[in-house]
Structure 1
Amino acid sequence: MHAPSQNREFLGVGWRFPLQVTPNGRIAQARHEQRIEEAIVIILSTAPGERPMLPEFGCGIHNTLFAPNDSRTIALVVHQVRQALTRYEARIDVLDVHAENNLDAPNLLLIRINYRVRETNAIGNLVYPFYIREGR
Protein backbone atom coordinates (compact mmCIF):
# COMPACT_ATOMS: atom_id res chain seq x y z
CA MET A 1 0.00 0.00 0.00
CA HIS A 2 1.27 3.48 -0.84
CA ALA A 3 0.84 6.72 1.07
CA PRO A 4 -1.72 9.05 -0.55
CA SER A 5 0.73 11.96 -0.48
CA GLN A 6 3.17 10.05 -2.71
CA ASN A 7 0.65 9.21 -5.46
CA ARG A 8 -1.08 12.40 -6.55
CA GLU A 9 -1.90 11.42 -10.12
CA PHE A 10 -5.62 11.39 -9.28
CA LEU A 11 -5.39 15.19 -8.98
CA GLY A 12 -4.86 15.35 -12.70
CA VAL A 13 -2.57 16.67 -15.36
CA GLY A 14 -3.76 18.87 -18.17
CA TRP A 15 -3.26 22.04 -20.13
CA ARG A 16 -2.56 25.14 -18.07
CA PHE A 17 -5.27 27.74 -17.77
CA PRO A 18 -5.03 30.21 -19.33
CA LEU A 19 -3.41 28.41 -22.23
CA GLN A 20 0.37 28.88 -22.32
CA VAL A 21 3.24 27.68 -24.47
CA THR A 22 6.57 26.57 -23.00
CA PRO A 23 9.87 27.97 -24.35
CA ASN A 24 10.35 24.76 -26.35
CA GLY A 25 7.00 25.24 -28.11
CA ARG A 26 4.87 22.73 -26.20
CA ILE A 27 1.56 23.38 -24.47
CA ALA A 28 2.27 24.11 -20.79
CA GLN A 29 0.76 21.65 -18.36
CA ALA A 30 -0.63 22.02 -14.86
CA ARG A 31 -0.19 19.20 -12.37
CA HIS A 32 -1.78 18.06 -9.15
CA GLU A 33 -2.76 20.87 -6.72
CA GLN A 34 -2.17 23.53 -9.37
CA ARG A 35 -4.73 21.72 -11.54
CA ILE A 36 -7.30 21.96 -8.74
CA GLU A 37 -6.66 25.68 -8.29
CA GLU A 38 -7.10 26.26 -12.01
CA ALA A 39 -10.33 24.22 -11.96
CA ILE A 40 -11.68 26.45 -9.18
CA VAL A 41 -10.91 29.55 -11.26
CA ILE A 42 -12.64 28.01 -14.29
CA ILE A 43 -15.75 27.20 -12.23
CA LEU A 44 -15.94 30.72 -10.78
CA SER A 45 -15.22 32.38 -14.13
CA THR A 46 -17.95 30.50 -15.99
CA ALA A 47 -21.53 31.75 -15.90
CA PRO A 48 -24.26 29.09 -16.06
CA GLY A 49 -25.47 28.79 -19.66
CA GLU A 50 -22.09 29.77 -21.10
CA ARG A 51 -21.19 26.22 -22.12
CA PRO A 52 -23.71 24.78 -24.58
CA MET A 53 -22.92 21.14 -23.77
CA LEU A 54 -22.97 21.78 -19.98
CA PRO A 55 -25.54 24.58 -19.57
CA GLU A 56 -25.75 24.27 -15.77
CA PHE A 57 -21.97 24.35 -15.25
CA GLY A 58 -20.52 27.44 -13.60
CA CYS A 59 -21.14 29.79 -10.73
CA GLY A 60 -24.13 32.05 -10.24
CA ILE A 61 -22.05 35.02 -9.09
CA HIS A 62 -22.37 36.47 -12.57
CA ASN A 63 -26.04 37.16 -11.83
CA THR A 64 -24.87 39.76 -9.29
CA LEU A 65 -22.88 41.72 -11.84
CA PHE A 66 -25.00 44.86 -11.46
CA ALA A 67 -25.94 44.39 -7.80
CA PRO A 68 -24.88 46.91 -5.16
CA ASN A 69 -21.67 46.01 -3.35
CA ASP A 70 -23.33 45.53 0.03
CA SER A 71 -23.66 42.84 2.70
CA ARG A 72 -26.65 41.24 1.00
CA THR A 73 -24.77 40.79 -2.29
CA ILE A 74 -21.72 39.51 -0.42
CA ALA A 75 -23.81 36.87 1.36
CA LEU A 76 -25.32 35.78 -1.97
CA VAL A 77 -21.88 35.57 -3.63
CA VAL A 78 -20.50 33.47 -0.75
CA HIS A 79 -23.47 31.10 -1.00
CA GLN A 80 -23.16 30.75 -4.77
CA VAL A 81 -19.40 30.12 -4.65
CA ARG A 82 -19.78 27.44 -1.98
CA GLN A 83 -22.62 25.80 -3.92
CA ALA A 84 -20.72 25.77 -7.24
CA LEU A 85 -17.49 24.39 -5.76
CA THR A 86 -19.36 21.70 -3.82
CA ARG A 87 -21.17 20.65 -6.96
CA TYR A 88 -18.38 20.83 -9.56
CA GLU A 89 -15.08 20.18 -7.78
CA ALA A 90 -15.29 16.75 -6.15
CA ARG A 91 -11.58 16.63 -5.29
CA ILE A 92 -11.93 19.19 -2.50
CA ASP A 93 -13.85 19.94 0.68
CA VAL A 94 -14.75 23.61 0.90
CA LEU A 95 -13.70 24.74 4.37
CA ASP A 96 -14.55 28.43 4.23
CA VAL A 97 -15.69 31.02 1.75
CA HIS A 98 -15.93 34.69 2.50
CA ALA A 99 -15.95 37.85 0.45
CA GLU A 100 -15.05 41.37 1.31
CA ASN A 101 -15.38 44.68 -0.43
CA ASN A 102 -12.71 47.34 -0.53
CA LEU A 103 -13.37 51.04 -0.02
CA ASP A 104 -10.54 51.90 -2.42
CA ALA A 105 -12.14 49.79 -5.17
CA PRO A 106 -15.92 49.87 -4.67
CA ASN A 107 -16.56 47.63 -7.69
CA LEU A 108 -14.32 44.83 -6.42
CA LEU A 109 -15.18 41.85 -4.23
CA LEU A 110 -12.31 39.70 -3.03
CA ILE A 111 -13.60 36.14 -2.63
CA ARG A 112 -11.40 34.09 -0.30
CA ILE A 113 -11.73 30.31 -0.51
CA ASN A 114 -10.11 27.84 1.87
CA TYR A 115 -10.31 24.19 0.90
CA ARG A 116 -8.83 20.79 1.65
CA VAL A 117 -7.78 18.28 -1.00
CA ARG A 118 -9.69 15.16 -0.02
CA GLU A 119 -7.09 12.55 -0.91
CA THR A 120 -4.05 14.25 0.63
CA ASN A 121 -5.60 16.50 3.30
CA ALA A 122 -3.47 19.32 1.88
CA ILE A 123 -4.95 22.73 2.67
CA GLY A 124 -5.24 25.25 -0.14
CA ASN A 125 -6.52 28.77 -0.44
CA LEU A 126 -7.36 31.07 -3.29
CA VAL A 127 -8.37 34.71 -3.60
CA TYR A 128 -10.61 35.33 -6.59
CA PRO A 129 -11.23 38.95 -7.63
CA PHE A 130 -14.78 39.54 -8.80
CA TYR A 131 -15.75 42.89 -10.26
CA ILE A 132 -19.22 44.25 -9.65
CA ARG A 133 -20.41 47.20 -11.71
CA GLU A 134 -23.20 48.77 -9.73
CA GLY A 135 -26.25 49.50 -11.84
CA ARG A 136 -27.16 53.06 -10.97
Structure 2
Amino acid sequence: MALDFPFSIDSRGRSAEVYADLQVRDMIEQVLFTVPGERVNRPDFGCGLLQLVFAPNSDALAAAVQMTVQGSLQQWLGELIEVEAVTVENLDARLGVTVQYVMRRDRQRHLATFSRGLGP
Protein backbone atom coordinates (compact mmCIF):
# COMPACT_ATOMS: atom_id res chain seq x y z
CA MET A 1 0.00 0.00 0.00
CA ALA A 2 1.08 3.57 -0.74
CA LEU A 3 -0.33 7.07 -0.30
CA ASP A 4 -2.95 8.06 -2.85
CA PHE A 5 -2.28 10.86 -5.32
CA PRO A 6 -3.53 13.49 -5.10
CA PHE A 7 -3.34 13.32 -1.34
CA SER A 8 -6.69 12.82 0.33
CA ILE A 9 -8.29 11.66 3.56
CA ASP A 10 -10.20 8.36 3.63
CA SER A 11 -13.47 7.58 5.43
CA ARG A 12 -11.58 6.72 8.63
CA GLY A 13 -9.93 10.14 8.77
CA ARG A 14 -6.52 8.76 7.76
CA SER A 15 -4.31 9.36 4.74
CA ALA A 16 -5.88 7.54 1.79
CA GLU A 17 -3.87 4.59 0.49
CA VAL A 18 -3.88 2.68 -2.80
CA TYR A 19 -2.55 -0.65 -4.06
CA ALA A 20 0.59 -0.85 -6.19
CA ASP A 21 -1.26 -0.91 -9.55
CA LEU A 22 -3.13 2.31 -8.75
CA GLN A 23 0.04 3.89 -7.39
CA VAL A 24 1.78 3.30 -10.73
CA ARG A 25 -1.20 4.85 -12.54
CA ASP A 26 -0.90 7.89 -10.25
CA MET A 27 2.82 8.08 -11.01
CA ILE A 28 2.12 8.05 -14.77
CA GLU A 29 -0.33 10.92 -14.29
CA GLN A 30 2.31 12.90 -12.41
CA VAL A 31 4.85 12.44 -15.21
CA LEU A 32 2.34 13.39 -17.91
CA PHE A 33 0.95 16.56 -16.39
CA THR A 34 3.95 17.98 -14.55
CA VAL A 35 5.59 20.85 -16.42
CA PRO A 36 9.41 20.62 -16.56
CA GLY A 37 10.79 23.16 -14.09
CA GLU A 38 7.75 22.85 -11.80
CA ARG A 39 9.58 20.69 -9.25
CA VAL A 40 12.43 22.45 -7.52
CA ASN A 41 14.61 19.40 -6.84
CA ARG A 42 13.85 17.74 -10.19
CA PRO A 43 13.69 20.51 -12.81
CA ASP A 44 13.69 18.07 -15.75
CA PHE A 45 10.83 15.92 -14.37
CA GLY A 46 7.64 15.76 -16.44
CA CYS A 47 6.39 15.99 -20.02
CA GLY A 48 4.76 19.38 -20.14
CA LEU A 49 1.69 18.11 -21.99
CA LEU A 50 -0.52 20.91 -20.70
CA GLN A 51 1.51 23.35 -22.76
CA LEU A 52 0.30 21.56 -25.90
CA VAL A 53 -3.42 22.19 -25.41
CA PHE A 54 -3.21 25.32 -27.55
CA ALA A 55 -0.78 23.92 -30.14
CA PRO A 56 -2.21 23.34 -33.63
CA ASN A 57 -3.14 19.74 -34.34
CA SER A 58 -1.04 17.94 -36.92
CA ASP A 59 0.32 14.47 -37.57
CA ALA A 60 3.86 15.70 -36.93
CA LEU A 61 2.90 17.18 -33.57
CA ALA A 62 1.05 14.01 -32.56
CA ALA A 63 4.09 11.88 -33.41
CA ALA A 64 6.44 14.22 -31.51
CA VAL A 65 4.17 14.24 -28.46
CA GLN A 66 3.92 10.45 -28.46
CA MET A 67 7.71 10.15 -28.55
CA THR A 68 8.09 12.76 -25.78
CA VAL A 69 5.57 11.00 -23.55
CA GLN A 70 7.06 7.59 -24.19
CA GLY A 71 10.58 8.89 -23.49
CA SER A 72 9.55 10.62 -20.26
CA LEU A 73 7.69 7.56 -18.99
CA GLN A 74 10.68 5.38 -19.83
CA GLN A 75 13.07 7.77 -18.09
CA TRP A 76 11.09 8.18 -14.88
CA LEU A 77 9.14 4.91 -14.59
CA GLY A 78 11.19 2.51 -16.73
CA GLU A 79 11.98 0.30 -13.74
CA LEU A 80 8.26 -0.21 -13.06
CA ILE A 81 6.57 -0.28 -16.47
CA GLU A 82 7.15 -1.06 -20.12
CA VAL A 83 5.22 1.37 -22.33
CA GLU A 84 3.56 -0.32 -25.30
CA ALA A 85 1.53 2.52 -26.82
CA VAL A 86 0.65 6.17 -26.24
CA THR A 87 -2.27 8.02 -27.84
CA VAL A 88 -2.68 11.79 -27.44
CA GLU A 89 -5.85 13.69 -28.45
CA ASN A 90 -6.13 17.48 -28.45
CA LEU A 91 -9.79 18.56 -28.63
CA ASP A 92 -10.50 22.26 -28.09
CA ALA A 93 -9.10 23.07 -24.63
CA ARG A 94 -9.05 19.43 -23.46
CA LEU A 95 -6.12 17.07 -23.71
CA GLY A 96 -6.66 13.31 -23.55
CA VAL A 97 -3.86 10.77 -23.19
CA THR A 98 -4.15 6.98 -23.28
CA VAL A 99 -1.19 4.87 -22.18
CA GLN A 100 -0.98 1.12 -22.64
CA TYR A 101 1.71 -0.42 -20.48
CA VAL A 102 2.90 -3.66 -18.88
CA MET A 103 3.87 -3.86 -15.21
CA ARG A 104 7.40 -5.30 -15.03
CA ARG A 105 6.87 -7.16 -11.75
CA ASP A 106 3.94 -9.34 -12.86
CA ARG A 107 3.76 -8.73 -16.67
CA GLN A 108 0.12 -7.62 -16.44
CA ARG A 109 -1.08 -5.29 -19.20
CA HIS A 110 -2.91 -2.08 -18.24
CA LEU A 111 -4.66 0.69 -20.14
CA ALA A 112 -4.93 4.09 -18.47
CA THR A 113 -6.70 7.18 -19.80
CA PHE A 114 -6.01 10.67 -18.50
CA SER A 115 -7.69 13.96 -19.34
CA ARG A 116 -7.01 17.58 -18.51
CA GLY A 117 -8.70 20.78 -19.55
CA LEU A 118 -7.72 24.42 -19.33
CA GLY A 119 -9.86 27.41 -18.71
CA PRO A 120 -12.51 28.40 -16.17
- Please, what TM-score do these two structures have when normalized by structure 2? 0.86
Question: Kindly tell me: are residues 32 and 38 of structure 1, through their superposed partners in 2, closer, same or farther at Cα, counting changes over 3 Å?
Answer: same
The CA deviation at 1:17 is: 0.8
1:1-136 alignment runs, 5 A limit: 13-89=1-77, 90-101=79-90, 105-131=91-117
Measured against aligned partners, the alpha-carbon deviations of 1:18-68 in whole angstroms (never above 9, x if no partner) come to 111111110001121011001000111111110011111111424434311
Instruction: Report % sequence identity.
Output: 28
Structure of higher RCO (CA pairs closer than 8 Å, 6+ residues apart): 1
Measured against aligned partners, the alpha-carbon deviations of 1:94-135 in whole angstroms (never above 9, x if no partner) come to 01112234xxx43333221100001100111111224479xx
Which whole-Å CA distance do the structure 2 matches of 1:115 and 1:71 have between them?
23
Which whole-Å CA distance do the structure 2 matches of 1:132 and 1:25 have between them?
32
Which runs of 4 or more aligned residues in structure 1 lie more than 3 Å from their structure 2 counterparts after TM superposition? 130-133
Q: Which runs of 5+ in 1 are unaligned?
A: 1-12
Aligned residues: 118
Which whole-Å CA distance do the structure 1 matches of 2:81 and 2:30 have between them?
15
Maintained 8 Å contact 1:60/1:80: no
Maintained 8 Å contact 2:102/2:108: yes
Maintained 8 Å contact 2:35/2:48: yes
Letter of the aligned partner of 2:81 in structure 1? I
Moved more, 20-29 or 124-133: 124-133
